[in-house]
C-alpha cells in the first residue's frame, strides 16, 4: 500500500482514572484499541497499520491487531510508545515501509471513529497535498478568562474549529516537520507540528462520533452510543 495509519495507543489514561492503559480499557466488552482498529480495517484502501503501544502491552496489542486484521495481519506491526504523544508518533513514523506516501495519525482513544472519516481524510491529502484535519464547528460561546476567572472577552466562534483525528499528511511532510520541530514537547496535535514547519493544513468536516474518550463520562457516552446500557 502507499497509505499508512499510525494508531497511537501508548498513553496511560490519567484522566480516565483506570489502572489499565486507556487503549486496553473495555468498551462494550472489547478494548478501545480493538474498536479503533476495526474502523481502520474497514477503510476503502488497504493500509499499512502501525500500532504504537505501551511496552508492557505489546503482546496484548499484537493479539488485538491480529484478531481485527484477520487475513490482513501482514500489514500490521506494533512498536513501543514514548513518554509523550509526539514521541509515540515519531516511533510510528520510523516503522513505515518504503513505499508509503500518505500517513494518517489516529488516536486509539477515538474508538468510535467511522471508517468513512478515515477515507475522507486520506482522499483529501491525496487530492490537495496539504495536511488535513477533521474539525467540528464550536457550538458553545467561548470566553477568554484570566486565571482567577475574570472574563476578558468573547472569542469569535466563526474562526474556531474543534479538531479531531485522523490527521493526514504527505509522508515526507510529516517526517520533515517532526525532524525540524523544536517547540514544546507536550504538543498533542500533529497539524500544529506540520504548520510550524510552514506546510499548509486544511480542515475538513469531522464527525461527532470521532470524539476522544478522555474522561469516565466519555466512556459512558460511548457505551450508550453502542447500545450497551448494561455496563
Ligand atoms: N498517546 C500515546 N503516547 C503517549 C501519550 C498519548 O500514544 N505518550 C496516545 C493515547 O494512547 C491516545 C492519544 O495519544 O490514544 C491521545 O492522547 P490522550 O487522549 O491524552 O490519552 P492519554 O495520554 O492516555 O490520556 P491522559 O492524557 O488522560 O493521561
Ligand atoms: Mg494525554
> What angle separates helix 58-69 from helix 32-40, to the nearest 10 degrees?
40
Would you state the pLDDT for residue 184?
83
Q: Residues with beta carbon inside 6 Å of ligand 1?
A: 8-15, 22-23, 52, 81-85, 88, 107-109, 212, 214
Domains of the chain and CATH, by start: 3-225 (3.90.550.10)
Closest ligand 1 atom to residue 15 Cα is 28
- Which residues neighbour 173 within 8 Å (Cβ) at sequence distance 6 or greater? 131, 194, 197, 199
Nearest ligand, measured from the Cα of 7: 1
Residue nearest ligand 1's atom 25 by CA: 13
Residue nearest ligand 1's atom 6 by CA: 11
Q: How does pLDDT run along the chain (231 residues), one tens digit per residue?
A: 999 999 999 999 999 999 999 999 999 999 999 999 999 999 999 999 999 999 999 999 999 999 999 999 999 999 999 999 999 999 999 999 999 999 999 999 999 999 999 999 999 999 999 999 999 999 999 999 999 999 999 999 999 999 999 999 999 999 999 999 988 877 889 999 999 999 999 999 999 999 999 999 999 999 999 996 554
User: If you measure from the C-alpha of residue 14 to the centroid of ligand 1, how many angstroms do you get, rounded to a whole number?
Assistant: 9
Would you state the pLDDT for residue 188?
85
Would you state the pLDDT for residue 228?
60
Would you state the pLDDT for residue 187?
85
Would you state the pLDDT for residue 182?
87
Q: What is the sign, positive or negative, of the torsion defined by CA atoms of 72, 168, 164, 61?
A: positive
Q: Which of 15, 22, 32 for mutating ligand 1's site (highest number of atoms within 8 Å of CB)?
A: 22
For the question of an ipTM over 0.90, the answer is yes
Closest ligand 1 atom to residue 108 Cα is 15
Strands (E) located in the chain: 3-8, 26-27, 30-31, 48-53, 76-80, 102-107, 131-137, 143-145, 151-154, 161-163, 167-170, 201-205
Would you state the pLDDT for residue 230?
52
Would you state the pLDDT for residue 186?
78
Would you state the pLDDT for residue 229?
55
Would you state the pLDDT for residue 153?
96
Residues constituting the chain = 231
Amino acid at each position: 500500500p502507499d497509505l499508512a495509519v499510525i494508531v497511537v495507543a501508548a498513553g496511560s489514561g490519567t484522566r480516565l482514572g483506570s489502572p489499565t492503559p486507556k487503549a486496553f480499557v473495555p468498551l462494550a466488552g472489547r478494548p478501545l484499541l480493538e474498536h479503533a482498529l476495526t474502523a481502520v480495517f474497514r477503510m476503502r484502501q488497504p493500509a499499512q497499520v502501525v500500532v504504537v503501544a505501551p511496552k508492557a502491552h505489546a503482546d496484548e496489542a499484537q493479539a488485538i491487531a491480529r484478531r481485527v486484521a484477520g487475513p490482513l495481519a501482514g500489514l500490521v506491526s506494533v512498536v513501543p510508545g514514548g513518554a509523550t504523544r509526539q514521541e509515540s508518533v515519531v516511533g510510528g513514523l520510523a516503522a513505515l515501509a518504503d513505499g508509503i506516501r500518505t500517513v494518517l495519525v489516529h488516536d486509539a482513544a477515538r474508538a468510535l471513529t467511522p471508517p468513512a472519516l478515515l477515507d475522507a481524510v486520506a482522499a483529501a491529502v491525496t487530492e490537495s497535498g496539504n495536511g488535513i484535519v477533521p474539525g467540528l464547528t464550536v457550538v458553545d460561546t467561548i470566553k477568554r478568562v484570566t486565571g482567577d476567572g475574570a472574563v476578558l472577552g468573547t472569542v469569535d466562534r466563526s474562526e474556531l474549529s474543534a479538531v479531531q483525528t485522523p490527521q493526514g499528511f504527505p509522508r515526507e511532510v510529516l517526517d520533515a516537520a517532526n525532524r525540524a520541530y523544536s517547540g514544546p514537547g507536550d504538543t498533542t496535535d500533529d497539524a500544529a507540528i506540520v504548520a510550524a514547519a510552514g506546510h499548509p493544513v486544511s480542515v475538513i468536516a469531522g464527525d461527532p462520533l470521532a470524539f476522544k474518550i478522555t474522561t469516565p463520562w466519555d466512556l459512558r457516552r460511548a457505551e450508550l452510543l453502542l447500545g450497551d446500557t448494561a455496563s
